[in-house]
Chains A and B, each alone.
Chain A
Amino acid sequence: MNAENLLFMILMIAFPFYLAAFVLYSIRIVKGPTIFDSVLAVDCLSFDLAAFIAILAIYFRSAFLATSAIILALWAFLLDLYLAKYFLKREVGI
């Protein structure tokens, strides 16, 4: 069992869980009664996509792919703050 087969086996065990979670999150995004539910689901989806991208960066052996994980995590944080600010003060302040 050399290293690459071990890595491939680990990822193939973990991938279905991530894909099922992404589908369930997108169901909540579409179904969400209020906008807060869907934004909460988008927030979780973005953070988990950031983790998924970091794992794919190992699989595709490229360091540039891992940089997008940080930006995606920060973007998800900004989305929540903009929504919170909009609902509190009716303006976003950009």
Chain B
Amino acid sequence: MISEALMYIGGILVIIGGICDFFGALGLLRFPHFYVRLHAATVGTIGGAVVPLIGAAILALGCDFLGWIRYPIAGMSFITAILILIVSPTATHALAFAAHRSKAIEWKEKVCDHLEGVKR
């Protein structure tokens, strides 16, 4: 009974991760320039890698037919999830800082005043 529940939870997390991954990739393709694409990259990385890794860990724990192999697989995928959770923001932050500081990608001001023409 428990393993069925674990398999369902892990499977749902893996599928959610796949959908997040697809939307992150779509965002990375459609967004105008590098700095906006960082958001899509973070969606694709955290939603598309950490969530399915935790789902894979739970799914591995639920699969009884794997025997004892499911424990190392679950442990390793959980460690990878924590690792990516720590590493991914650092990496994208380093990229953004380097892109801005080295002026490889110039920063276009995107501030627009929506309340400009509104009279009280």
Contacts and interface: CB of A to CB of B under 8 A. Distances in A.
Interface of A: 3-4, 6-7, 10-11, 13-18, 20-22, 24-25, 27-28, 34-37, 39-41, 43-44, 47-48, 50-52, 54-55, 57-58, 61-63, 66-67, 69-70, 73-74, 76-77, 80-81, 83-85, 87-88
Interface residues of B, number: 61
B28 A74 contact: no
Contacts, number: 203
Given A21-B22, A25-B25, A25-B44, 7 more contacts: A3-B7, A3-B63, A51-B21, A57-B56, A58-B66, A63-B76, A81-B91
A3 B52 contact: no
A44 B80 contact: no
The prevalent SS among residues of B at the interface is: helix
Counting from the closest, the 10 A-B pairs by CB-CB distance are A17-B18, A10-B11, A24-B25, A84-B98, A80-B91, A21-B25, A84-B94, A54-B77, A47-B49, A87-B102
